[in-house]
């Protein structure tokens, strides 16, 4: 069964794209067939064409559109026979659901439908935890002047709940997003690998913790091969 690894973080800047790239590279190095689904590819992957079209036309996406697109993606994964899909912030679509103003009851129903659609795969959320305020500051340093203001403005325009008007309210919103994402990961049919203090640890250590946790979901031989590949990369990387 293909393992679908969806990497999420407590906030932008916590390192999820770095972990995605590291896991994809190490899994391929361990001899597994890996599909690395980058975050922006939701607008270009053929299975999500209806999602991209609807979003460009209306600025929103219907829940049925998301479910249908995900089902097509699962079919394509099965057809290719991938061992692992590494998805940067794909399922369970939590920021999208909150940005469209859906309440907890609607999200609960959607999550049940999504779990059913994903049942041919083994979905595992790798969650990079930490303080959203620290992670946002790190992202602002990386992205440059004006990024943080643009991020707050984007959340304000989406009309998310709780309403975002400044950095403090953005942190409050991200904490709600975190709680709801972890609620999904705690349900039957989902796996969870929690990386504590990801905003404080060195990137290599975050990747190592994620790989060790993921190894249990990959199964004996594949999990051990992943850990060897990660450790091999760390030894080979210049000091």
CA distance 88 to 10: 13
CA distance 175 to 173: 5
CA distance 142 to 138: 6
Any idea which residue has 């770095």 for tokens?
18
The 3-state DSSP class for residue 5 equals strand
Both tokens of residue 151? 């991020």
The 3-state DSSP class for residue 213 equals helix
What end-to-end distance do the CA atoms of the chain give, in Å?
A: 38
CA distance 127 to 168: 22
Do 127 and 193 touch, CB atoms closer than 8 A? Answer: yes
Any idea which residue has 């599909």 for tokens?
35
Kindly give, in sequence order, each residue whose CB lies less than 8 Å from that of residue 42, ignoring residues fewer than 6 positions away: 48, 51, 52, 90
pLDDT at residue number 119: 97
Q: What is the pLDDT along the chain (239 residues), one digit of tens a residue?
A: 899 999 999 999 899 999 999 999 999 988 899 999 999 999 999 999 999 999 999 888 999 999 999 999 999 999 999 999 999 999 999 999 998 889 999 999 999 999 999 999 999 999 999 999 998 988 898 899 899 999 999 999 987 888 899 999 999 999 999 999 999 999 999 999 999 999 889 988 999 999 989 988 887 666 677 767 666 655 555 54
Q: b/e for 92-119, b at 16 or more Cβ within 10 A? A: bbbbbbbbbebeeeebeebbeebbebbe
């Amino acid at each position: 069964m293909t393992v679908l690894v969806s990497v999420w973080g407590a906030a932008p800047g916590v390192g999820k794209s770095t972990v995605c790239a590291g896991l994809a590279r190490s899994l391929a190095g361990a001899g597994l067939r890996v599909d690395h689904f980058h975050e922006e590819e939701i607008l270009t992957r053929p299975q999500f064409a209806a999602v991209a079209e609807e979003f460009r036309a209306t600025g929103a996406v219907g829940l049925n559109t998301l479910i249908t697109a995900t089902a097509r993606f699962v079919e394509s994964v099965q057809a290719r026979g991938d061992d692992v899909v590494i998805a940067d912030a794909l399922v369970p679509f939590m920021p999208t659901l909150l940005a469209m103003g859906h309440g907890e009851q609607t999200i609960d129903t959607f999550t049940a439908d999504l779990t059913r659609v994903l049942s041919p795969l083994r979905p595992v959320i790798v969650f990079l935890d930490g303080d959203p305020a620290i992670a946002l500051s790190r992202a602002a340093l990386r992205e440059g002047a004006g990024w943080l203001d643009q991020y707050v403005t984007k959340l304000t325009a989406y009309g998310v709940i709780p309403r975002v008007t400044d950095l403090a309210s953005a942190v409050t919103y991200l904490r709600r997003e975190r709680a709801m994402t972890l609620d999904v990961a705690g349900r039957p049919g989902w796996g969870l690998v929690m990386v504590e203090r990801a905003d404080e640890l060195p990137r290599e250590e975050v990747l190592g913790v994620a790989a060790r946790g993921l190894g249990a979901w990959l199964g004996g031989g594949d999990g051990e091969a992943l850990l060897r590949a990660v450790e091999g990369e760390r030894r080979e990387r210049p000091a």
